[in-house]
Amino acid sequence: MKRVHHIHIMGLLMAMTLHAAETVPQAMPPADDGAIPRAVNMEAFEALVTNSPFTRSLGVSDSLILTGVAHFENDTFATLLDTKTFESHVVSKNPNFQGWQLVDVGGHSAEIQTWSAKIQIPGGEVISVRYQKPPPKPAQIKSAGSSSGGNSSPLTSTQLNEAKTAALNYKEGFSSDGYPKAPPPEMVAKLSRLSTSQRETINQQMLGLRNQGLGLNDRRKIYEGLVDRSLQRR
């Protein structure tokens, strides 16, 4: 009888122990044990969203060099050369077809090796381009539209006479307007709205740019820009 009573007591104690174990709450895992991923914090991606590598230009200035700077009254033009493609670009305070805009130029006007230009490209980034002597152009891509830098020199008396004669005979064009032949009818119409002195001033500027070594295509772009700006001031 005592043995049965003893077994009954032991069974009761084991049952109570198991019940106590079941009712003890399990320990909570630490707040950050590395097993559960944290919630994404969007602030971490703010810089990526505002300055996405898919929308900004990467290394656009790596192959660009400054080859020339020209001033005309309140306008400034800079010519750039892509040394990889040997494509030339003209930039001014008005964005060109690529959206490039001239922000500032620096350096001493008489020391070409000190010239520099700041160019704003689409997206708001401003790049700095310094003057360098253009490398030799590969034979397979040489063309009459090449551009090179050089010190501007005073116009000769022959060139001054050419600027004056071309201002009078503007329909015929002249050596430095950037056109291989006479200017197209739409340019002739614009030139007709300028005074002879305005045309002569533009011609002198273009002859100076030719003395710097600017190629045909660059001169044409600048010439058209100068004519348009002169018309806006009338």
Per-residue model confidence as pLDDT tens digits over 3-49:
545 555 555 555 555 555 555 455 555 555 555 656 556 565 555 54
Cα distances from 167 to residues 14, 134, 163, 181, 230, in angstroms, run: 117, 32, 6, 16, 14
Cα separation, 218 vs 77, whole angstroms = 10
Checking if the pLDDT of 195 tops 80, the result is yes
Query: Comparing 99-103, 110-114, 135-139, which segment has the lowest mean pLDDT?
Result: 135-139
Place of tokens 């020391």: 111
Beta carbons within 8 Å of 222's beta carbon, 6+ residues apart: 70, 77, 90, 178, 206, 209, 214
Cα separation, 207 vs 219, whole angstroms = 9
User: What is the tens place of the pLDDT at every residue in 121-173?
Assistant: 988 899 999 988 888 877 655 443 333 333 445 788 899 999 999 999 999 99
Q: What SS3 state is found at 195?
A: coil
Cα separation, 112 vs 66, whole angstroms = 10
Token pair belonging to 19: 């019940």
* For range 81-89, the mean pLDDT: 83
Kindly write down the DSSP assignment for every residue of 78-143, as one continuous string: EEEEETTT--EEEE-SS--TT--EEEEEES-TT-GGG-EEEEE-TTS-EEEEEB-PPPPPPGGG--
User: What is the tens place of the pLDDT at every residue in 205-221?
Assistant: 888 888 777 778 888 88
Cα separation, 71 vs 93, whole angstroms = 12
% of the chain residues with pLDDT over 90? 25
pLDDT recorded at residue 55? 42
% of the chain residues with pLDDT over 70? 67
* For range 107-119, the mean pLDDT: 86
Residue 181 has phi, psi (to 5 degrees) of -130, -150
Place of tokens 């493609």: 85
Domains in the chain, please, with CATH?
58-135 (2.30.30), 152-234 (no CATH)
